[in-house]
Amino acid sequence: MPEQIADLSDLRGDCAQCFGLCCVALPFAASADFALNKPAGKPCPNLRGDHRCGIHADLRTKGFTGCTVYDCFGAGQKVSQLTFGGQDWRTGSKDHARRMSEVFPVVRQLHELLWYLTEALGLPAARPVHAELRRALEETGLLTRQSPAELAALDVAAHRQQVNVLLLRTSELARAGVAESNGGNGGKGGKGNKGGKKGKGGGKDRRGADLIGARLRGADLRWASLRGAYLIAADLTGADLRDADMIGADLRDADLSDADLTGAFFLTQPQLNAARGSAGTRLPRSVSRPVHWAAKG
């Protein structure tokens, strides 16, 4: 049976239906993001018996900022309730718990791809590849419904590479379509693509660019490809990021105050949660304004 994804809301984590898998399966090291070391497969000491976090409301002040920027894209409830039939890792054997820890990261990656594919199907300019996107969506959904043994043996990297080729084509079509529908201008005031190399999609090509700490206040990045760009601690205050491709962009501690991300696509909640922003930051409908942004007013 093919995976039926109604919209992006079906790809959001539901902790009430999960057994705290992200708090068990994933490793983390003591750093600015985590207050302690934890190996993969070992429960976090903050995980309660009911699978809820004991310090959820104080994660940032307690030194667990990394937890606040994580999202499983709904993989947690899929693995807990479907893949393992609702059997808690605590009540099963050690092998059962180990298999859950192995499978969860795999399904999480597949669900992230489902997010991108679902969003891509909502882009009118990508209509020429909609049929291929639907096939990829169905195939990826079917992969998530495999047995634990099949999931553990799956070559996720190979599947991601296949899907990425399609997502790249989607990006080129979407950004070119938007640019053409606006008379070919490159951003605010019709300034074109001044200051950046023009990509196939019609905007600046900043794929994989090292923009760590870059001063991009008020920058014209409309229709830009920021795929995999390093924007850590970059100043994007008031920047125009409308209709930009944000897939894989590292926004940790980037300042998006008063920036305009209307229509930006392939932007995920974890990326946004890792950034800073303000009440004036304009966002696409696919994501929510992070709670911690409220402190900036």
CA atoms 130, 136, 139, 144: torsion sign: negative
Contact yes or no for 194/222 (Cβ under 8 A): no
- Mind listing the pLDDT tens digit for each residue in 81-123? 999 999 999 887 888 999 999 999 999 999 999 999 999 999 9
CATH T-level fold of 191-297: Pectate Lyase C-like (2.160.20)
Residue 62 in this model has a pLDDT that exceeds 50:
yes
What does the mean pLDDT of the chain come to? 89
Q: How many whole angstroms separate alpha carbon 63 and alpha carbon 271?
A: 19
Q: What is the pLDDT of residue 98?
A: 92
Q: How many whole angstroms separate alpha carbon 91 and alpha carbon 19?
A: 11
Report for 8-12, 31-35, 139-143: range of highest mean pLDDT: 139-143
Contact yes or no for 217/236 (Cβ under 8 A): yes
- Tell me the whole-structure pTM to 2 decimals: 0.87
Residues 230-242 as b/e (b if ≥16 CB within 10 A, e otherwise) read bbbbbbbbbbbbb
Residues paired with residue 198 on neighbouring β-strands, in sequence order? 204
Q: What is the pLDDT of residue 94?
A: 83
- Rounded to 10 degrees, the C-alpha dihedral 117/121/124/130 comes to 100
Q: What is the pLDDT of residue 204?
A: 87
Q: What is the pLDDT of residue 7?
A: 66
- Mind listing the pLDDT tens digit for each residue in 177-214? 665 655 544 444 333 343 456 665 557 899 999 999 99
Q: Where are the domains of the chain?
A: 8-172, 191-297
For the chain, give percent helix, strand, coil, nearest 5.
40, 5, 50
Confidence band, pLDDT 50/70/90 cuts, at residue 52: very high
